[in-house]
């Protein structure tokens, strides 16, 4: 080996490429190739059972526009995402503010609120399905105080509400922890100065806390919105998309079309739609950061 060719910087560059090679090749093979294939498949009629794969151009996209079930799926997805984001972020912020007080026992409560995050998702959902049945534990508890509870998972509004609540309780701990870390980064002297100026607690929260932790609010809202679009296991276990189509969110509908009805082409078209929505929402939120985010490090 000629030492002149292997200069320090060349050797460094070789090491760099070698270090990123697994991740780069993996991304190409398992992210970008399938993404390209999704677009390609979406231009085909592909029935797996009949083993037909024919180019149909934009037909699947036309079918998308004419599909009444898609409207339902988008409505369910929008409802779920909106409900989840609002409830999750509000509760996470409330918990973080409460646990950020100088109180005994905050570590205990922090552990309690975070613990569902580490419970297996399907196990968690099964237990809630058990609790939410008509003769389940929640209605049993309600009956002891004289309230007749609804059949939660069989009513169109209550089913969606149930799925949202189950998901919020499962994952709110993550956002709570991120908010807690952000709150602890707000300099205490800002509050001291505001107190001297006679600002009320709510005023302080609005004018100091929220602007100072706005980067975290942006980050958590992006994570939560994108995560909400991916909900699947909870739907599959709790409601199977029902009653009717009230909880058939986009990913569940995609799964049904591709893997239950074996319409791979149409499933791929739904995947393209999902990708477009995720991309659009992320970009919108990113653009909005100028409005929201008070300071960026």
**Residue 249: exposure state from Cβ atoms within 10 A (0-12, 13-18, ≥19):** buried
Interface with another protein includes 177 (CB under 8 A)? yes
**Looking at 26-34, 80-88, 151-159, 204-212, which segment touches another protein (CB under 8 A)?**
26-34
Q: Where are the alpha helices (DSSP H) in the chain?
A: 8-27, 33-41, 59-66, 68-99, 106-114, 121-132, 137-144, 156-184, 188-196, 201-204, 210-212, 214-229, 233-238, 250-255, 264-287, 289-292
Interface with another protein includes 26 (CB under 8 A)? yes
Q: To the nearest whole angstrom, how small is the minimum distance from the Cβ of residue 146 to another protein? A: 12
Q: 69 vs 130, which CB is nearer to another protein?
A: 130
* C-alpha–C-alpha distance, residues 20 and 89, integer Å: 36
Interface with another protein includes 237 (CB under 8 A)? yes
Cβ–Cβ contacts within 10 Å for residue 226, how many? 15
Interface with another protein includes 180 (CB under 8 A)? yes
Interface characters, 106-135, with another protein (x: CB under 8 A): -x-xxxxxxxxxxxxxxxx-xxxxxx---x
* C-alpha–C-alpha distance, residues 168 and 233, integer Å: 14
Angle subtended at Cα 112 by Cα 109 and Cα 116, rounded to the nearest 5 degrees: 150
Per DSSP, 45 falls in state E
* Footprint (CB under 8 A) of another protein, residues 199-218: 215-216, 218
Among 63, 236, 242, 243, interactor with another protein by CB under 8 A: 236
* Footprint (CB under 8 A) of another protein, residues 250-289: 251, 254-255, 258-259, 264, 267-268, 271-272, 274-275, 278-279, 282
Number of residues that bind another protein (CB under 8 A): 99
Interface with another protein includes 86 (CB under 8 A)? no
* Footprint (CB under 8 A) of another protein, residues 133-162: 135-137, 140-141, 143-144
């Amino acid at each position: 080996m000629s030492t002149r060719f292997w200069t320090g910087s060349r050797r460094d560059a070789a090491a760099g490429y070698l270090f990123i090679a697994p991740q780069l090749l993996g991304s190409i093979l398992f992210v970008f190739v399938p993404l390209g294939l999704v677009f390609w498949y979406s231009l085909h009629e592909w029935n797996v059972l009949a083993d037909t794969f024919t180019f149909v151009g934009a037909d699947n996209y036309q079918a998308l526009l004419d599909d009444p079930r898609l409207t339902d799926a988008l409505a369910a997805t929008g409802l779920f995402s909106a409900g989840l984001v609002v409830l999750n972020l509000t509760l996470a912020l409330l918990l973080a503010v409460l646990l950020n007080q100088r109180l005994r026992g905050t570590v205990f409560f922090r552990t309690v609120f975070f613990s569902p995050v580490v419970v297996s998702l399907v196990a968690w959902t099964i237990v809630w399905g058990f609790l939410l049945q008509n003769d389940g534990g929640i209605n049993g508890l309600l009956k002891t105080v004289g309230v007749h509870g609804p059949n939660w998972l069989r009513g169109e509004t209550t089913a969606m509400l149930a799925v949202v609540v189950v998901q919020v309780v499962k994952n709110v701990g993550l956002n709570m922890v991120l908010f807690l870390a952000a709150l602890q980064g707000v300099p205490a002297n800002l509050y001291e100065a505001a107190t001297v100026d006679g600002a009320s607690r709510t005023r302080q929260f609005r004018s100091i806390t929220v602007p100072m932790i706005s980067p975290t609010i942006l980050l958590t809202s992006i994570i939560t919105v994108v995560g909400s679009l991916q909900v699947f296991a909870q739907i599959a276990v709790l409601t199977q998309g029902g009653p009717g189509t009230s909880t058939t969110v986009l990913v569940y509908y995609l799964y049904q079309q591709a893997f239950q009805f074996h319409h791979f082409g149409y499933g791929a078209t739904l995947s393209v739609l999902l990708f477009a929505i995720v991309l659009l929402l992320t970009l919108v939120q990113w653009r909005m950061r100028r409005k929201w985010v008070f300071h960026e490090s």
